[in-house]
A and B are shown apart, each in its own frame.
Chain A
Amino acid sequence: DIVMTQSPDSLAVSLGDRATISCKSSQSLLYTSNNKNYLAWYQQRPGQPPKLLFYWASTRESGVPDRFSGSGSGTDFSLTISSLQAEDAAVYYCQQYYNSPYTFGQGTKLEIK
């Protein structure tokens, strides 16, 4: 199985500041035939199912604010929130879909400082 490792496990950021979450995979998620990275990002608020934010590592899902961005390639990826809003407090997960079984990172809890 591909192991997904996120860092940090938690972070506290002030409103208006930038937050960055890292995700590393145990093998490359870049499929060379189509030059796409098989990685998604999710946001999960308490009591709710995860919400898709990005797929193909950097393609924003419809309705996701543009303060969110996804980047990276191969084995190293990042999710960045450029100016933190109160509603961004949540747990964030990365997920690989390069190989079955599809696997998730352990999650990063983002809190407002």
Chain B
Amino acid sequence: QVQLHQWGAGLLKPSETLSLTCAVYGESFSGHYWSWIRQVPGKGLEWIGDINHTGEINYNPSLKSRVTISADMYREHFSLTLESVTAADTAVYYCAREGQWLAPWFDSWGQGTQVIVSS
């Protein structure tokens, strides 16, 4: 059974860069697309972007100018970088596995990382 474990800095100052990593256990990285999703308090869930084992990446246009998603196929990790954070980026960030190619429901999730942006 696949498990996702994520980590990264949880407290940032405005203008700093958010960096999170998610490790995939129990399943080959090459079989799925892998996503980052955030949950902003009071605003629900927002899909940030995804990546697959060939390096194909898709971003939400609302964040595309500040986001980079990358993957280390050998270590079966994938990462999220979000530049120039503001208080509006305060959220719980999740990594997740997409169910099928071209059918991205999210069937496995990381434990979540609370990120707070505050001066």
Contacts and interface: CB of A to CB of B under 8 A. Distances in A.
A101 B112 CA distance: 21
A50 B94 CA distance: 10
Interface in B65-92: none
Contacts of B112: 49
Contacts of B104: 97, 102
Nearest to A38: B103
B106 A40 contact: yes
B119 interface: no
Interface in A80-112: 93, 95, 97, 100-107
Interface residues of A, number: 21
Interface string A42-60: 1000000111100110000
11 contacts: A49-B110, A49-B111, A50-B45, A51-B109, A95-B105, A95-B106, A97-B104, A100-B58, A104-B44, A104-B45, A106-B44
Nearest 6 A-B pairs (CB), nearest first? A49-B109, A40-B105, A104-B45, A101-B60, A55-B105, A102-B47
Interface of B: 44-47, 58, 60-62, 94, 96, 99, 103-107, 109-112
